[in-house]
Structure 1
């Protein structure tokens, strides 16, 4: 049993090392994702001369009722300028098999947000993610979205 624990601990340490990420944070959702609840991340600008890729990371379980997800993102620059995007991502294959990595009923999806971006303003950036899922025919987002456990933001260096 001790050997298993040591091997498991070494495996976790080995897999958790990531030289490309300059920022990677998850926020756990309490139960369900409320329509009006934004997940907020704040990070300081990395090197302004280098390009980066940005990703949204989601962890979902088998109770997620859709095969896709719509997200509204708002990135606020240190000077106050805000960029808003509405994004759609596929979460499952047509046969219902979940996309993403993981085993069991929890899957982690790394979703492209922006590529080759530069953070050319010094200071703190704020990034908000809101769910915007609707049922067919409805105008408003679902009030509570179940099955999304964690929402994350990941900023990576581009290897040149």
Structure 2
């Protein structure tokens, strides 16, 4: 009888973790691995989203992974938001390291990962298809020691 209670408890916890752990709020989550860890101006990271309800709010994130050999303490990126009719863009700067050289991102071996907010509580102007595009906006081309770049779009429930 005791083993049955343990089994039922284990099954209930497993089901809770399985169903509760699923993040259904993401409508897009892509990562692009940079060839030879070089992010050139031509390597734009793009994702298409289909917005059916313009009353919902969204969070849009910039995801980045770089090596410890990255030369700068910051990064500039451009976010382009395109519809069939028009294009809007905005430049962002993100701080990657402290003044003493300590990286701000979470590290695993030689790689450091970040997730930065681009637009929070953002409402798309109208229903339709939108293309989100990220490009690096530093002076170096290519920007070396960038491993991966991504975009995540999540609906706020």
The TM-score, its normalising length taken from structure 1, stands at 0.77
SS at match of 2:106: coil
Q: Does the 8 A contact of 2:58 with 2:123 survive in 1?
A: yes
Aligned to 2:134: 129
Aligned to 1:10: none
Pick closer, same or farther for the CA change 1:95–1:157 going to 2, 3 Å: same
Q: Does the 8 A contact of 1:71 with 1:130 survive in 2?
A: yes
State the distance in 2 between where 1:102 and 1:157 align: 28
Comparing both structures, which one devotes a greater share of its residues to strand? 2
The range that moved more, 38-47 or 101-110, is: 38-47
Q: Does the 8 A contact of 1:35 with 1:142 survive in 2?
A: no
Aligned to 2:150: 152
2:46 matched to 1:51?
A: no
| Structure 1 ranges of 4+ moved more than 3 A | none
Taking only aligned residues, the RMSD between alpha carbons, in angstroms, comes to 2.2
Unaligned runs of 5+ in 1: 1-12, 134-140
Unaligned runs of 5+ in 2: 1-16
